[in-house]
Copies of this chain bind each other. A is one copy, B any other.
Amino acid sequence: MSAYRELEARFARLSAVGQTAMHLHWDQSVMMPPGGAEARGEQLAALSAIRHDLLTADVTENLIRDAEIQGGLDEWQQANLGEMKRRWTAATAVSGDLVAALARAATACETKWRDARAERDFSSVRPLLQTVLDLVIESAEARAGKLNLSPYDALMEKYSPGITSEKIDVVFGDLGAFLPDFLGRVMEKQAAEPAPLIPEGPFPAARQRELGEDMMRRMGFDFEAGRLDESLHPFSSGTHGDHRITTKYNDDDFVFGLMGVLHETGHALYEKGLPADWRRQPVGESLGMDIHESQSLIIEMQACRSPEFLDFAAPLMRAAFGGGGAAWDPENLVRLYTRVKPGFIRVDADEVTYPAHVILRYELERALIGGDLTLADLPGAWNDGMKRLLGILPPDDGLGVLQDIHWYDGAFGYFPSYTLGAIGAAQLFDAAKQADADVLPAIGRGDFGPLYAWLGENVHGLGRRYPSEELLTRATGRPLDAEIFKSHLRVRYLDA
């Protein structure tokens, strides 16, 4: 067997172990009783150690070197070998002791953070966050040396490989300059119009579920090859032939649950469309969180808040809950679903203000990793940024620096992917509409076929064959930038 084929067998096993770990996380969030936490933690730790051993074993390094020398690979195989090497490099960059120390520190910090957030007291979690931050910086510097990146970029590489802060500075700079003035104009326009009506409930969970399943089927989700369940926070998971998403139903408001379903279905359909010939190989997996988020937002934000889709969906929504009156008119629902209002909490933010939340976090975490900001100054810097970007001042740290789990859990470099995803979604949806004039009209008939035909060919079916920005350039004819996203916002929110 050639060295390359041996690597394929090795990474197929790694893939199966990775899928198993992902399934254990799904079960933990959806099915597991509380008493199972200890055993589940032990199972996940064992799988993590097994993956690390398989990936960092000497034989992996030797096989990669031999495969590079032997050559004779086609382009997909070369891309696959490149992905293998990237993973091996990243895994060997950081010592097992450091990984374990960071995991322990993050668990302790995250636990304390839950109390600190409830008590709105940043100072109580600050010492633990300092430990996490110190270890993250140590890990970032170790990765940076091996990956030939800056420390911050070496962290971001885990979530959005191929994207550097040099690139993000340009894109976020553009967007950060655009948003404050644009937001003011949107707010002014919406204030001059009558407020949208709110459909009245109750919205029984069983009905919400049926409506969600109906929408999922229209989008192409196959319930013989997937599930819809409930969890505290919506997420998507699963493997080929078994795609699982979750949402959360609120009896007083069906929009949150339905948007969760649509968003997660976008994630699931990306996974479903990955290249079948490369299952269980690194090159056959989805790209980073930036592209993944573009696939959920293309559904939730681009397609499903469009007047075309809401025209189609309004009668189905009304029928699902036996509703009546003007609140269920498509025009009202469009206004309701595109309502803009600056708020303190990122996860509740609308499409226009969301990027401001992300830009703030990006600026702050870069400064923290670079040593230009101390944790003592973090809450103040947070509040200054909110004032500058959104014009509002959090009344306490619970509505400010304590709101997101990410940093307390050790995840630095993750936040940019949310807004990179929003930008990518705008660019891809625009390109799809240009490539096939029926994409949007079909969505207006509840038919997502043309959109998914285009996405399948230009995104899903390519796996990790190209880095995310090259994929975007090939698909849309232009590299990642904020222009199309800005145009989309202007058209949707200012009719301009």
Contact = CB atoms under 8 A, between A and B. Distances in A.
A257 to B, nearest CB: 21
B16 A45 contact: yes
Contacts of A40: 242
Contact of A242 (B23, B35, B45): B35
A243 to B, nearest CB: 8
B241 A13 contact: no
Nearest to A37: B241
Given A239-B36, A239-B39, A24 B20 contact: yes
Contacts of A17: 43, 46-47, 50
A316 to B, nearest CB: 24
- Give the interface size bracket for A toward B: 35 or more
Interface string A226-253: 1100000000001111100000000000
Given A20-B47, A43-B19, A33 B223 contact: yes
A222 interface: yes
> Copy number of this protein in the oligomer?
2
Nearest to A40: B242
A222 B36 CA distance: 12
Contacts of A227: 31, 33
Nearest to A32: B242
Contacts of A241: 33, 35-39
Given A40-B242, A280-B42, A226 B35 contact: yes
Nearest to A36: B242
A223 B33 CA distance: 7
A367 interface: no
A98 interface: no
> A13, A42, A47, A280 — which one has the most chain B CB atoms within 10 A of its CB?
A42
Interface in A1-29: 12-13, 16-17, 19-20, 23-24, 27
A238 B239 CA distance: 22
A399 B240 CA distance: 39
Contacts of A376: none
A364 B375 CA distance: 75
Nearest to A240: B39
Nearest to A54: B50
Contacts of A47: 16-17, 20
A49 B13 contact: yes
A471 to B, nearest CB: 25
Chain B CB within 10 Å — which of A12, A45, A46, A280 has the most?
A46
A35 B222 contact: yes
Contacts of A20: 20, 24, 43, 46-47
Contacts of A240: 38-39
A372 interface: no
A460 to B, nearest CB: 17
A453 interface: no
A277 to B, nearest CB: 14
Interface in A47-80: 47, 49-50
A325 interface: no
Given A31-B31, A242-B40, A46 B16 contact: yes
A263 B325 CA distance: 54
Contacts of A280: 42
Given A12-B46, A13-B50, A36-B241, 18 more contacts: A16-B45, A16-B47, A17-B46, A19-B42, A20-B43, A20-B47, A27-B27, A31-B31, A33-B226, A33-B227, A34-B225, A35-B224, A35-B241, A36-B238, A38-B241, A39-B239, A39-B241, A50-B50
7 contacts: A17-B43, A17-B50, A19-B39, A19-B42, A33-B223, A33-B225, A34-B225
